[in-house]
Amino acid sequence: MSQRRGLIERISDWIADVFHLRDVPFMGVPDYMFSIEYWLGAIATSALIWQAITGLLLMLYYEPASAYQSTMYILGNIPFGKILLPSHLYGAYIMIFAVYIHGLYEFFRGNYKRPRGAQWVLGVLLFAITLGTAFLGYSLTGDVLSVDAVDVGKAVVSSIGLSGLIPVIFGAGGSAATYLRFLGWHIILAAAIILFFVLHFYLAEQNGFAPEPAEVGYKAPAVLQRNDPRIKPWWPRNFIFMTGIVFLTWGIILFVPSFLQLPGIVNATPVLFSPYPGPSPTSPQAAGFPAYPPWFFLFIYKMADMPFGLGTDIVMAVFIPLIILLLTPLIDRGDALHPLDRPWITALYLTGLAWVIELSLWGAIQPGVPVEPSWILITILPPPVIIFVGMYAAHLVWRRAKEAGALKLAPRVKGSGWPYKKAAEYFGYISGIFAVVLAALSFALNPATQAPYIGIAWGGALIDLSAALLSYFYVTYIE
């Protein structure tokens, strides 16, 4: 073990000297922050890197003038095509899901308060641009769902009084012009994501990481001081942990859509999560194919089925929530960090979350079915009443308990690594061996006809490699 560590340390020192990594001004973190909830943004970033790489490769083969044909050509004729296109789709899924959870986690910790107001706003804009990029991306396949998305998009733009922008967004011509314009906007917005991410990351580094709210008495500003003795240097601790997160994210992105392509599984996979495009819009199957959007747009599509008119529906589903998200640092300017100390805005966010889940499930069950006014009373009105009343009651109980001294507001006790380090060390060895074996087996497979099996092997290898790295990290660096 000591010889292995010595070799790894010598390699680490050489890399650090060559690339001057000890001079990188990135902030390290205490041991307790090496936990998944602190690295949700890193998961989204890992998926973004995957999207950039696979997106550039897909551009080599995609033809806007024959969108559906070139999409199917990538899947059926390009070596590794059944890995490239489905993993690009699932990379978007993982990225959007991670951003959702990351945003909720940051809200409930109060990390939109000073000094992180601008950081929060940039994060909201990143989320909005990511959804816009995803809409354009899934519309590029040219299948029946893509055609439906274009039609819905045009109707939405017209309904909010911006019909003059239709030629700008959708192009002035037939489907070839639309897909060419969509490809251009997709690239532009992807570049905007990278720009906003750099600014967001810069502010995160300058503002410092937020400590446990209990460490600051649940009061803003919550800033982890750079001279905190618990903070260790960024290199190589943060780098190794981050590399493990990247490999884990990429492994999932590769493994899941590849597994869903296996015989007997692909036909049983719901349309919402299928790794393949839908049928051609000119095929007989198109008429009976459900007009599903991606799962993360289901609530918007269901909101468009409301009886208020499309323009009003979209304003309520998109613009009002976006404005609330952007203005949250101004709406709640107090210093309270605990969710029960800011009950009204917490109840507002919980209501929005409940509506998103409810409308998404509703949209999955009844896509495109108009909503009767009576159903609004039954489904839409109860959540805010229940949540606001419940949150206010919880706030009163919480406040009285604090006043009575019945609560001990102390930081959570974090574990100090794995309790059985020897077992963790062996687990790392085994995971590394499996990673090598799976990677080696993939070379015996045909990339044209057995690409899904290669994707499973590569995904499994990356997940095993991540396990080996994280095991090494916890054994070596966590006391």
Map 303-333 to HEC letters. Answer: HCCCCCCHHHHHHHHHHHHHHHHHHHHHHCC
Two tokens, residue 24? 């990188």
> Could you report the per-residue pLDDT of 289-304, keeping only the tens digit for each?
888 899 999 999 999 9
Two tokens, residue 196? 């906003």
**Nearest Cα to 68, choosing from 284, 297, 282?**
282
Alpha-carbon gap, residue 313 to 155, rounded angstroms: 12
| Least confident residue range of 27-31, 66-70, 325-329 | 27-31
Alpha-carbon gap, residue 101 to 94, rounded angstroms: 11
* Cβ(228)–Cβ(28) below 8 Å: no
Alpha-carbon gap, residue 121 to 207, rounded angstroms: 14
Which domains does the chain possess? 34-224+260-414 (1.20.810.10)
Q: Supply the pLDDT for residue 4.
A: 53
Q: Supply the pLDDT for residue 416.
A: 47
Confidence check: pLDDT of 409 > 70: no
* Cβ(315)–Cβ(160) below 8 Å: yes
Confidence check: pLDDT of 412 > 60: no
Q: Supply the pLDDT for residue 337.
A: 95
Better pLDDT: 306 or 403? 306
If DSSP codes are grouped into helix, strand and coil, which group holds residue 229? coil
Q: Supply the pLDDT for residue 249.
A: 98
Q: Provide Rg for the chain, Cα atoms.
A: 25
Q: How confident is the model at residue 174 (pLDDT cuts 50, 70, 90)?
A: confident
Q: How confident is the model at residue 415 (pLDDT cuts 50, 70, 90)?
A: very low
Alpha-carbon gap, residue 258 to 267, rounded angstroms: 13
Q: Supply the pLDDT for residue 27.
A: 86
Alpha-carbon gap, residue 255 to 458, rounded angstroms: 7
* Cβ(143)–Cβ(75) below 8 Å: no
Taking the model in full, what pTM does it have? 0.93
- Mean pLDDT of the 46-58 span: 97
Q: Average pLDDT, whole number, for the chain?
A: 91
> Could you report the per-residue pLDDT of 320-377, keeping only the tens digit for each?
999 999 999 999 999 999 999 999 999 999 999 999 999 999 999 998 899 999 999 8
Q: Determine what percent of the chain is predicted with pLDDT higher than 70.
A: 95
Alpha-carbon gap, residue 470 to 66, rounded angstroms: 45
If DSSP codes are grouped into helix, strand and coil, which group holds residue 89? helix
Q: What is the DSSP letter of 172?
A: S
- Mean pLDDT of the 136-157 span: 93
Q: What is the DSSP letter of 317?
A: I
> In degrees rounded to 5, what are phi and psi of residue 428?
-65, -40
Q: Supply the pLDDT for residue 26.
A: 87
- Mean pLDDT of the 254-261 span: 97
Q: What is the DSSP letter of 130?
A: H
Q: Supply the pLDDT for residue 420.
A: 67
Q: What is the DSSP letter of 336?
A: B
CB half-sphere exposure, 428, CA atoms < 13 A: 19
Residue 26, judged by CB atoms within 10 A of its CB (0-12, 13-18, 19+), counts as: middle
Q: Secondary structure of the chain: what % helix, strand, coil (to 5)?
A: 70, 0, 30
90 Cβ contact list (under 8 Å, min separation 6)? 252, 253, 256, 257, 275
